[in-house]
Amino acid sequence: MTVLPADGLPLAAEFPDPSHDQWQSLVEGVLRRSGREVTGTAAEEALSTALGDGLTARPLYTSADASADPGLPGFAPFTRGSRAAGNTTDGWDVRQRHALTDPVRLNEALLGDLENGVTSLWLAVGGPDGVPVSGLARALEGVHLDLAPVVLDAGTDAGPAVRELLGLCETRGLAKESVRGCLGLDPFGNAARTGAEPELSEAVHWARICSGEYPGLRALAVDALPYHEAGGSAAEELGLSLSTGVACLRALTAAGLSVEEACAQLEFRYAATADQFLTIAKLRAARRLWARVAEVCGAPDAGAQRQHAVTSSVMMTRRDPWVNMLRTTLACLGAGVGGAESVTVLPFDHALGLPDAFARRIARNTSTILIEESHLARVTDPAGGSWYVERLTDELASAAWSFFQEIERADGQAAALRSGMVRERIADTWAARSRDLARRKEPVTGVSEFPSLTERPVERVPAPAVVVDGGLPRVRRDEAFEALRARSDRHLAATGSRPRVFLAALGPASAHTARASFAANLFLSGGVEPVQEPVSVDASTAAAAFAASGATIACLCSTDALYAEQAEGVAAALRAAGAERIFLAGRPDAFAGADVHVFAGCDVVAVLSSELDRMGVA
């Protein structure tokens, strides 16, 4: 039996320290075996992932990537958290959003959520999707406004909604110091959504009242969601929120508030996505950047940014919406680990219409499980110290600050919105991302990857239509593929069948399975039904199999070697049997006799849209 030394076994004892060059050499060998001859830093770059904003996630981070000391939680620059204890006391605030026009139904939903884990309420008031201002009192019956903070989202009805809420608190005899929440006054967010000029006078008026009379109530929401929902990147979202916050500070201090008092009236709202590391870094960077603004304004201790994270609506899909539960779980994890004080998880059916009780329950329980069962809130800034997260935080903060300076040079947030600078910048970002989505470089599970044509649609009461009149658009990752699937659905309803493609798989399963699976997924993403019966064909059997498939187009699937041997004969047989178009899963040099080549990185949306046009699918 081996006897350990008295001082125990040192960690990694007898293992030599590997060098970065050794690791890089091993990477070169792996790439060489896959047919890629790259050496040195090129080998490492081959395994890197582009994140947008000019940022890159590298495959390996070491102590050489360590960033400057991020400080301690609760102290400037607040990278590690706005509070010393973080969310460790009770976890983050579970904030549910409600958009119902009927006060009675809204009241039932509010009480049910508060009884089952929700700790604050975010209410749409006024407009097409909110409860009428006159119905706010009925909607809040039985809600203890001194225990459950209320956050308003009232748009152009903000003034009347605020007066109604504060009047209700007064009628109930609540002490002003016991009222908590956020009035949600958002002049720049409203301007971004509507295209109108931001009007700050009412927001300033209520901020002065809150600062003097309601210590637990914030007046303004610095909402970055309109920029995220229009397709903006993480750095653009941060840069625009900084510029908005600075514009609010200027207005509030001009009205007589100190910098400290003005900072205390702001709550920042950011999107949380299924890219949990980017979400974590974004929230950490946001706090660091706002701390720098407060420092420059002469109030470094006032720079503790209050954050409300909302799971992204851009990532939510209409097809296979159950997958949205996984997306929102990852987004909620990123928001909690990133240090957001309040987190809203959108229901999985958010993109389909008004959520039902089951969807709301799953949404609120997402936070509950992460807090109570996964214990994510027991550690402050758990990602802190990770070389990757710290480096990503630094790089994202730098990119966001650069964009913020660009906005300020253009005379600030209002001028940037007015001139179209914000719209053009975000449109360019979304266009680039749309190209990646169309090429499936950014896969969307259940939509562009592993779609199912046989899934039963989830039906919900339609939400009121969002009218974009002069403001920023609202986009979704699934929109291009959703348009293709909708065409297929209409074709099915009109004819009783979907457009079909015959998969002509050549050779044994070991040769054709990879490309046949690739082709099947590709066509399914556009609502084109693949038929592979029999499993494989050759020149003598392809014609009969194609005729039996009911398809009008065919796709050859196999290895390049088998294409060289069989593709020409099989393609000729398919054309003779009536195939109007021959696709081939592989690049053009694999077999030049095909009409269309589909391969990893091709523009799937363009290929399928063109083919549906040609097939007469309206």
Tell me the pLDDT tens digit for each residue of 353-365.
999 999 999 999 9
Question: Does the structure show a pLDDT above 90 at 571?
Answer: yes
CA distances (Å), origin 435, targets 142, 304, 439, 526, 613: 50, 38, 6, 16, 20
Read off the tokens for 138. Answer: 């009925």
**DSSP-based three-state secondary structure for 34:** coil
User: What was the pLDDT predicted at 46?
Assistant: 87
Segment 202-209 shows an average pLDDT of: 96
Segment 218-243 shows an average pLDDT of: 97
The whole model's pTM is what?
0.93
Q: Which residues contact 525 (CB under 8 A, 6 or more apart)?
A: 440, 447, 448, 449, 451, 481, 484, 485, 604, 608
Cis-peptide into 534, omega within 30 deg: yes
Question: Does the structure show a pLDDT above 70 at 5?
Answer: no
Tell me the pLDDT tens digit for each residue of 129-174.
899 999 999 999 999 999 999 999 998 899 999 999 999 999 999 9
**Alpha carbon distance 292, 315 (integer Å):** 31
Tell me the percentage of the chain whose pLDDT exceeds 90.
Answer: 81
For residue 326, what is the enclosing H or E element? helix 323-338
**DSSP-based three-state secondary structure for 612:** helix
- Please, what sign has the CA dihedral across residues 537, 543, 544, 546? positive
Q: How many CB atoms lie within 10 A of CB 363?
A: 27
Q: How many CB atoms lie within 10 A of CB 365?
A: 16
Q: What does the angle CA 532 – CA 317 – CA 273 come to, to the nearest 5 degrees?
A: 125
Q: Please, what is the angle between helix 604-615 and helix 421-438, to 10°?
A: 70
Closest CA to 192 of 428, 406, 474: 474
Ordered alpha helix ranges (H), 458-582: 479-495, 509-525, 542-549, 560-562, 568-576
Confidence of residue 38 (pLDDT cuts 50, 70, 90): confident
What is the DSSP code string of 119-167? -EEEEEBSTTTSB-GGGHHHHTTT--TTTS-EEEE-GGGHHHHHHHHHH
Across 27-103, the runs of DSSP E, i.e. the strands, are: 49-52, 55-57, 93-98
In this structure, the dihedral spanned by the alpha carbons of residues 151, 138, 208 and 176, taken in order and rounded to 10 degrees, is -100
Q: Give me the chain's average pLDDT, please.
A: 93
Q: Which residues contact 464 (CB under 8 A, 6 or more apart)?
A: 101, 128, 129
The residue type of 596 is: V
User: What was the pLDDT predicted at 615?
Assistant: 93
Give the 3-state secondary structure percentages of the chain, helix then strand then coil, rounded to 5: 50, 10, 40
- Please, what sign has the CA dihedral across residues 39, 40, 42, 47? positive
Tell me the pLDDT tens digit for each residue of 51-109.
888 898 988 898 888 888 888 898 999 999 988 877 777 889 999 999 999 999 999 99
Confidence of residue 552 (pLDDT cuts 50, 70, 90): very high
User: What was the pLDDT predicted at 4?
Assistant: 55
**Alpha carbon distance 413, 427 (integer Å):** 17
Closest CA to 147 of 216, 214, 205, 195: 216
Tell me the pLDDT tens digit for each residue of 317-372.
999 999 999 999 999 999 999 999 999 999 999 999 999 999 999 999 999 999 99
User: What was the pLDDT predicted at 3?
Assistant: 56
**Alpha carbon distance 191, 378 (integer Å):** 39
In this structure, the dihedral spanned by the alpha carbons of residues 391, 393, 395 and 398, taken in order and rounded to 10 degrees, is -140
Cβ atoms 537, 563 nearer than 8 A: no
**Alpha carbon distance 501, 494 (integer Å):** 19
Confidence of residue 177 (pLDDT cuts 50, 70, 90): very high
Question: Does the structure show a pLDDT above 90 at 551?
Answer: yes
Q: Which residues contact 495 (CB under 8 A, 6 or more apart)?
A: none
User: What was the pLDDT predicted at 518?
Assistant: 97
Closest CA to 435 of 45, 54, 52: 52
Ordered alpha helix ranges (H), 529-603: 542-549, 560-562, 568-576
User: What was the pLDDT predicted at 11?
Assistant: 63
User: What was the pLDDT predicted at 10?
Assistant: 63
Cβ atoms 192, 417 nearer than 8 A: yes
Cβ atoms 377, 354 nearer than 8 A: no
Cβ atoms 321, 458 nearer than 8 A: yes
User: What was the pLDDT predicted at 2?
Assistant: 53
**Alpha carbon distance 397, 285 (integer Å):** 5
Segment 396-415 shows an average pLDDT of: 96
Q: How many Å is the Cα radius of gyration of the chain?
A: 28
End-to-end, the C-alpha distance of the chain in Å comes to 77
- Please, what sign has the CA dihedral across residues 61, 64, 65, 66? positive
